[in-house]
Amino acid sequence: MKFIATDVSDTRRKMVDMATTQLDRQGFAIDRYFYRSHVTYEAELENIVFKSWLYAGHIGQLANNGDYFLLELGEDSIIISRDEDGQICAMHNVCRHRGARVVEELSGNRRAFVCPYHGWAYGSDGALKRARGMDQLAGFSRADYGLKKVRFEVFQGMIFINCDPQAADFAAPLANITRQLGAYDLANAKVAEAKTYRINANWKLCLENYLECYHCSSSHREYAKLHTLQAAYEKVKPLNEAMLARAEGVTGVAGIADKYRAYYNHASGFGTCSYHSRYALYDGVKTGSENGQPVAPLMGHMRGYDGGAGDFQMGPLTFMLNYPDHCVLYRFVPRSLTETDMTLVWYVNGDAEEGVDYDKEKLVWLWHQTSLEDEYIILRNSEGVNSRFYQPGPYHPEHESTCMEFVSWYLKTMARIAA
């Protein structure tokens, strides 16, 4: 963990003024202030992270009644469970008595969540079942003290949560990528592996790194051998056009190549980003693996390898890169001013059997290797932008265009916050 000295003169007024000033420098990276300010970090949690739709997990993690898992977010914890009636629930992991966490293990199966402090017991749906001795308190009703609910949406087997009770609808934006994502039948897919990389850097540095491929050719040599995204579009335009022309015929999925773009400033509601595009792999490459060859059975409704990959975004901090034989989900979660959890989830066909249909090490190799490389460059980036001598430079107009979209949305959000 990198420690950053607190600026005792920092205020929300300063934050708003800095964001407003930065908006006049469109096309340039943001000032180091936004990676160092404790005031800004708290405002980000309150106004961005806890008001956006975030990937929590997959329904496969809740196969049985009583199953649950936790989503750790900032300093908070959220319980995602399947109750005794088989219904999915989401709730804050905070006892309604004195605030102790009622669950410590990251996943498991329980008929009840019992607070270890004073023994208040909650059902797997969060309803308060027992509050020892509280019948002595006049007017006390268990119905008033269930675990606080969190909004959630299940889309093609993936569970998304939003801590804002007034959050914008997410179902309609997601519906625009139903056909494209539906090709992989994620509702019936299997989570083959999940890894969380704790990056000792501000969450925006991790996200900005993901949103641009300007660094791909220099920092990710193995990735760059396979994916045309690392090259200038005009240079690989013939490969992309050929792939898009054959995509439906080869995969057997109508509309798989249809592009949809509604993220950040263009989203229909705050924190409801939805995006899909398909781009080409280089000739002879079928999937994202060490040698570019298949590492698992075809996903869902896919019928062949078209030499392409699907790029998806669902909410501001969740992304997927989907190959015909496996899918890789990325999620970025702030844990502190200088710590970010970068979680990767690898999906395979639901019928695939480890050791028979796929080798886990071969399946995860490319993106595990790429993530380790990302960690290295993000840490170097963090050290540099925290220098008092750092002066932001211009973004690349093509390779860092999505980065610019995010920064514009971010700054507009921060500039609107009441000082």
The mean per-residue pLDDT over the stretch 215-221 comes to: 95
The mean per-residue pLDDT over the stretch 85-93 comes to: 98
- Of the pLDDT bands very low, low, confident and very high (cuts 50, 70, 90), residue 7 is confident
Question: In the predicted model, is pLDDT for residue 419 greater than 80?
Answer: no
Over the stretch 172-216, which tens digit does the pLDDT of each residue have? Answer: 999 999 999 999 999 999 999 999 999 999 999 999 999 999 999
Distance of alpha carbon 332 from alpha carbon 418, whole angstroms: 26
- Of the pLDDT bands very low, low, confident and very high (cuts 50, 70, 90), residue 6 is confident
Question: In the predicted model, is pLDDT for residue 4 greater than 90?
Answer: no
Distance of alpha carbon 231 from alpha carbon 136, whole angstroms: 70
Amino acid making up residue 255: G
Over the stretch 110-167, which tens digit does the pLDDT of each residue have? Answer: 999 999 999 999 999 999 999 999 989 999 999 999 999 999 999 999 999 999 999 9
pLDDT of residue 379: 97
Q: What is the percent of the chain where pLDDT is above 70?
A: 100
pLDDT of residue 119: 95
Question: In the predicted model, is pLDDT for residue 85 greater than 90?
Answer: yes
Tell me the domains of the chain and their CATH numbers: 54-153 (2.102.10.10), 168-416 (3.90.380.10)
pLDDT of residue 1: 54
The mean per-residue pLDDT over the stretch 47-59 comes to: 98
Contact yes or no for 146/112 (Cβ under 8 A): no
- pTM score: 0.96
pLDDT of residue 302: 98
Question: In the predicted model, is pLDDT for residue 291 greater than 90?
Answer: yes
Q: What is the percent of the chain where pLDDT is above 90?
A: 97
Over the stretch 315-365, which tens digit does the pLDDT of each residue have? Answer: 999 999 999 999 999 999 999 999 999 999 999 999 999 999 999 999 999
Distance of alpha carbon 24 from alpha carbon 415, whole angstroms: 12
